[in-house]
Copies of this chain bind each other. A is one copy, B any other.
Amino acid sequence: MGVTVNEIAKICGVSRTTVLRALNNQSRVSDRTRRQVLEVAKELGYRPNLLARSLNTGRTMTLGIVAINMDNLIFVQTLSAINTEAQRKGYSLNIALHGQSSEAEMQRIRDFTDRRMEGILLSPISKGPEFEQFLLSLGTPVVCIGNYVSDQISTVMIDEELAAREAVRLIASKGYRRIVFVCPPLAYESQQNIYSHIQRKHGLEAELALHPGLSYQIIAADDYVQQLSPVLATLGDVRTAILCSGDIYALNIMRYFKAHKIKTPRDVGIMGFDNISILEYIVPRLTTVSTNVENVAVVAVNELISQIEGDQAVAKKIVLPHKILDMETL
């Protein structure tokens, strides 16, 4: 463990500069010396110490990604794609999960910059001007995914508001007269990344203004399945669609439906958000909103790398397209 250039130099009876030149395939070394150096290096199992190299060159070729956890399958898919793209571009990827505290989030970010990551991908839960200031003061390029923090920081996202509007239009077009919107408790702001849910809610409510015939109610609670009871008791009265801000909510509700012999879409319509990959195993196929996660990953990584390697970095807000998947549950 830990053969250095110096040792090789000593053994070969040359200076470490020469060894270095041989090792790095540079010119100005005699063939004889080069061969000998390479031989000895191989013999001893020499490996360059990338810490030392980085300390010198100022480059680590490493990116970091900071996020809440891996419970969200859509994030896992994105993460995987990010890893692939980063590796393709010659960067290694570091992952840090922080549970759900804003302080922990900042600590992880700080740790990454201390380790001299060259750029950071962030699916942030923190927000506000102090956090913005914190990110800007890092001196390291940051690209946010999903959540918007500041105009000064590039963000890759989809137009959640528009997606929600389109969802409402689809529901309205199918003759539903009541929409129940299911999302996480909006008070969780500090504990969870709920920016996208709020965006969806905005879009939904804005669109509803154009559909006076649609009644509306929201369930923003952890026990959403229980809270659905009054809705389910009145299914016969009014044709109802449940719009879930996340496929997992829809899956839980569908499981409940199956247990209680409630048929979809016959008795009630249901729609999700995200199009997580496991949906393909669920029958009936859930109607949902899909984003191309590979696309998000590639765009985010490339934006980050261009900030790292580019001359001048202008923060951009990149909005990627989504698609309504009209399947079987609506």
Contacts and interface: CB of A to CB of B under 8 A. Distances in A.
A55 B47 contact: no
Nearest to A99: B84
Contacts of A254: 281
A228 interface: no
Which secondary structure characterizes the binding site on chain A?
Answer: helix
B80 A92 contact: no
A209 interface: no
Nearest to A251: B281
Given A1-B139, A97-B83, A51 B45 contact: no
Contact of A139 (B2, B50, B139): B2
B80 A1 contact: no
Interface string A153-177: 0000000000000000000000000
Contact of A47 (B47, B54, B70, B110): B110
A233 interface: no
B113 A97 contact: no
Contacts of A96: 83, 87, 92-93
Q: Interface range on chain A: under 10, 10 to 19, 20 to 34, or 35 or more?
A: 35 or more
A258 interface: yes
B55 A51 contact: yes
A265 interface: no
Interface in A89-120: 92-97, 110-111, 113-116
Contacts of A70: 76-77, 79-80, 83
Given A1-B139, A70-B79, A51 B281 contact: no
A79 B67 CA distance: 14
A64 to B, nearest CB: 9
A65 to B, nearest CB: 9
Given A2-B139, A92-B96, A51 B47 contact: no
Contact of A49 (B77, B80, B84, B114): B114
Given A1-B140, A49-B55, A92-B94, 14 more contacts: A2-B139, A47-B110, A51-B60, A51-B115, A51-B116, A55-B55, A70-B80, A76-B76, A83-B96, A84-B97, A92-B96, A93-B96, A94-B95, A254-B281
